[in-house]
Amino acid sequence: MSTVESAPSAVRDLGHFIGGRQVPGTDPKNGGRHGNVYNPSSGALSGRAPLASKAQTEHAIADAAAAFPGWANTSPLTRARVMFRFKDLVEKHIDELARIVAGEHGKVISDAKGSIQRGLEVVEFACGIPHLLKGEYSDSVSAGIDVYSMRQPLGVCAGITPFNFPAMVPMWMFPMAIACGNTFVLKPSEKDPSCGLRLAELMMEAGAPPGVLNVVNGDKEAVDTLLGDPRVQAVSFVGSTPIAKYVFATASLNGKRVQSMGGAKNHMIVMPDADLDAAAEALMGAAYGSAGERCMAISVAVPVGEKTSNELMETMKPMVRNLKVGASTDPTSEMGPLVTREHLEKVRGYIHQGTLEGAELLVDGREFSLREHPEGFFIGGTLFDRVSPAMRIYKEEIFGPVLSVVRARSFEEALALPNEHEFGNGVAIFTRNGDVARNFANKVQCGMVGINVPIPVPLSFHSFGGWKNSMFGDMNQHGPEGVRFYTRVKTVTARWREGVNPGPQFGMPLHR
């Protein structure tokens, strides 16, 4: 049984996973620091996560560095077989993992399982690593000279992941890195750390050697250690834009390769010719699924024309009011609680701010309470109409179940909204007109575009990443970009002489 599940008391003391085994955190009585982990549905304290010191983080880096030479020299086929076994183990334990995600993040079980499945798709892609690492070969580029390239691992890589996808986002990072021959140190969110620990156990059970995957729970002290340690060669981050900027700047300054994903404000344009029932259903799932706590959530709807706007609002108001909010383990729940009480108060504050700024509050989620769990971190779906681009609820990422509606008079006015926003993660358009859709996809300034698809997260064999202040770095996550990020190219020019030695050549080497 997992050590994550088998702690003896209701409030579990979590640890780290270093060198292939669970490592306890430092006892708070002896100067150690801990963060509290809550069950968002009940509001009860469920665990204590140790906040690693610099020394503890360096211990994990050292174990990863020691494991790297042997793992890098392991054949890609052997590494792929470990990934196949890891995939099988995650599938076998998906119900357990979903309960862990639901119990610490608050996702409903169906959403938790879906997020694990999207992470597994990257593991499936990583299983093809023997093919993905193949280089290029040019025969006889000159007399007796061949040129070929190879992709080789970097060394120790680090991942700093957010609270909203404690299974999926880590599985977007470490399987690709490890399959490429690197070793990895994962720093999950201290708000929901148990899933990362369990995934590390399953990776060891799959046959990865000790030290190949390490998990360090912590806060800024652990992060800064990872960003500054010269043994760490690459850093992948997902979180808010201010922290993404900090991670990118700090790690880059220390000579590391970085992919740093920041915040978002994703728009969905609804054209007059769209199927409004389909658009409303898409908005419900995209805005309120996972309680809006996802960087690809639709948080701005842009209906074009007054008729479209009025009809869409009349369709959506009862749908938002009737949204089934409940405990994450309730199979009838469509939306669970927010992750912490502090985040709940933050979202409530944004709703209050929207009313002060003059937006029309059609459905107020602050009125919601769950009788069975009065201390849970619950809020209902919120719908604002007649929002303007000058308002904070439009400009800033709320990261909660709040949908803002900005009415546009024309396609050009609608297109300008995502193009002029500081974020450029995802965007969608609903229309029956192929010319409009093609024009939109070509001109919109966002990294991921959906056409009649509200949340256009690419499948694992394509790459995930935004534009503008939604991403810092040159290479996206998973897919071909993920292989490039976690490897570097070495090009070999080889001569096998035939005949007479040509003697010293002092000029620029040229083809002859």
DSSP assignment of 287-347:
HHGGGG-STT-EEEEEEBSHHHHHHHHHHHHHHHHT--B--TT-TT-SB---S-HHHHHHH
CA distance 241 to 404: 20
- Known catalytic membership, residue 295: yes
Angle at 95 between CA 94 and CA 101, to 5 degrees: 85
Instruction: Annotate 401-412 with b (16+ C-beta within 10 A) or e (fewer).
Output: bbbbbbbbeebe
Please, which residues bridge with residue 302 across strands?
Answer: 269
Instruction: Annotate 195-228 with b (16+ C-beta within 10 A) or e (fewer).
Output: bbbbbbbbbbebebeebbbbbbbbeeebbbbbbe
- Unique residue bearing structure tokens 């080497």: 509
Q: Which residue intervals of 133-265 are DSSP H helices?
A: 168-179, 194-205, 220-228, 241-253
Q: Are the C-beta atoms of residues 464 and 172 closer than 8 Å to each other? A: yes
* Residues near 440 by beta carbon (within 8 Å), at least 6 away in sequence: 269, 411, 415, 429, 431, 449, 451
CA distance 436 to 272: 11
For the chain, first and last CA: distance in Å? Answer: 67
Question: Catalytic one among 127, 157, 180, 295?
Answer: 295
CA distance 427 to 133: 32
CA distance 323 to 335: 8
The residue type found at 95 is D
Nearest CA to 290 out of 458, 37, 44, 115 is that of: 115
Show which residues are catalytic: 295
